[in-house]
Chains A and B, each alone.
Chain A
């Protein structure tokens, strides 16, 4: 029997929870182990010092307070009683919907409008007739051909 197990036995013995065999094992161990014996004496002296506070009478009007609370529960307005359990989920739903409604216009307001210039306008803007006489393989000629195909 090791001391670690015996210390648990000591605790249970102080609570009156050891059976006959365990109690005898503990007593046998305490006879041969001075450390456990000292531990037992220290622990039992501490625990025996701790006495429960004396029982005191409950206040005489305790039940009246309970009855009032029950009455208040029974007679609260129906709508409050009905709403109470739904209040928090309803609040979250309302917040969610509110944020969804205002976020649309808000996003539109802060998002910059895309440039509406279409490719045709862009082509006209960028058309450079100066490249009309460019050699066939030149980049400017390729560009002109590309623009011509798009126009078609």
Chain B
């Protein structure tokens, strides 16, 4: 079985089979990374297509200085960041009337526990969405994708100590935003 680096060399020669093989291997991870970054299913679908299209068109630029997966995730992260930069996200208020109405309305068919869980996720997601772009990227790669500092540094093309600083600041911001909810028992 060929490794990713061998396959991408073939993709550079426009080998469709090699491209399909690479796509199969990484499709789920890339899609979920994008989905966790942008938070919307259809946008994640479009952006994932963009990512793999860029891989196909830029395969000749892969020089083997890093692992293929690192290069791929770098493309995915940059695609997400560009998308977010162009499109201001619609920030749903944490005290969204729809959510609080659903929680209090006796006619709601959704169990209260599920609604409370949704509200909790909305609170956390909003806090993460308001992080500075590089902090959010580092946090998502670390917390959601489980990458190490070394891997994050390769993906983001920054130093390992810079990754440490980004994650430190991200956590401080999240603590500032989320601690009040935690203390009120809403998280």
Contacts and interface: CB of A to CB of B under 8 A. Distances in A.
Interface residues of B, number: 35
A56 B175 contact: no
A47 B174 contact: yes
A49 B23 CA distance: 33
Given A46-B175, A53-B36, A58-B48, A66 B23 contact: yes
B53 A66 contact: yes
Interface string A105-135: 0000000000000000000000000000000
Contacts of B164: 8, 11-12, 17
Contacts of B149: 15, 17
A42 interface: yes
A69 B49 contact: yes
B142 interface: yes
B182 A63 contact: no
A8 to B, nearest CB: 6
Interface string B107-149: 0000000000000010010001000000000000011110011
6 contacts: A8-B164, A49-B187, A56-B32, A57-B28, A65-B45, A73-B57
